[in-house]
Structure 1
Amino acid sequence: MEKTIAAIGDGVIRIEFASDVSPQMNQQIQYTCRLIQERSIYGVIELVPGYQTITLYYEPIKIRFEALVGKLENLLAKEQDQEIIQEKTRLLHIPVCYGGEHGPDLSDVAKRHHMTEDEVVKRHQQPEYLVYLLGFLPGFPYLGGLDSAIATPRLQEPRAKTPAGSVGIADAQTGIYPLSSPGGWNIIGNTPIPLFDAEKKEDAFLFQPGDRVKFFEISEADYSQLPLGNKWEEVIADE
């Protein structure tokens, strides 16, 4: 697969993959990230996977741009001859209370697609989603695999405040707001599960790129009673 390496700022390099967005493309990106991390290149600070890119942050005072590009080119050239090793991924089951005050846009989404609200909910729950990347807010998962029948454009006028845990649809994606924030996604429900813990130095984010996600519906009563905090294991299963 063809890849290009370019500087996009001081201390920032982007590796771009010439391929369409797909689960296979995501698998390739995750594999390449692991190879770079395993090499432990001096001066590299962080890798950020995207839909078709890997953004690499480094310290120019520790490694020159040309030297880093040379190391990356050698690594990517060797990667061409290697078979992608698929690591075991997590499947996280996320409870959602749909509609009502938790999903103020569910009705509009249903009307737009000439469906009942229950049908929208059913179609939203059916797929097994893939976490392509985190962005926008700390720990915000961009999930691919949404049923095209309920794909819905962003709101024309974004909300000034979208509550933490809001589950939304934007075009062909679905996602979850980890924090309260302005936002333009169509909110169809809310999960009581915390996605981001600023107090944690490690594993502060619930999701990681490459994770798989399934949603299941809960009632208002269940939503109020589900444990919060760090008791995620009671509502999330790893497979």
Structure 2
Amino acid sequence: MPMMRLTCTSLTLALALACSTVACAGQAPEPPGSGHRDIDKVNGGIKLPAGSSAGDVSTVNGGISLGDGSRAGQVENVNGGIDLGDSVTVESIEGVNGGIDAGKELQVKRGIETVNGGVRLAAGADVGGDLTTVNGSIELDHARIAGRIEIAAGSIDTGRGSHIGGIKVSKPGGSNWNNNRLPRVIIGPDSVVSGDIVLERETELYVHDSARIGAVRGGSARPYSGDRPELD
């Protein structure tokens, strides 16, 4: 997903959520979003208990927490973090200001995107689309990202044994952007990037000897062995 679209949709998301009405959560676990009422708030956090289900879950000001084994449709937040327990299933995740932290075996049918905030997915995450952030770090472990991972600033660490459709480091826009800190991408042991790695700005790219990647466009990779590269 292009970075330009992220910045354009952030305001749209905030306005849409601010105009929404408050609804109640559903109860019985079923496929995410099917037959369950949405939970919409403007001010205040949302907590979905373990093993429960809801439709779309969204808030403007406040955190979102989904308990172990819970299911939901689209999860959207403007100002606040998103915390997901183990074995959570959702349609998609979108945030503006706040990090996304998920437990083991997360299932996301479509994609994950945030503007300002990191994304940490514990072992076994399966994302059916792209994983995108503008400002923040992305940390994975034995994950499958069917689409592309994209950042403008921050870092990507695939961890061990992850499978990713492609990687892009976008050129940031805006006259006030701080270019002093270079983005960093680490392709960990036994990880696979099936598509290209596209670097639109100078990037520190480290690739483990056991990893397999596509073509690197716009830069070059530094090979490493062992658990971690020797960082500059």
**Bin of the TM-score, shorter chain as denominator length:** under 0.3
Instruction: Give the TM-score normalised by structure 1.
Output: 0.25
| Higher relative strand content | 2
Give the number of the structure with larger relative contact order, counting CA–CA contacts within 8 Å between residues 6 or more apart: 1
- Greater per-residue helix proportion: 1
TM-score (norm 2): 0.26
Bigger Rg, structure 1 or 2: 1
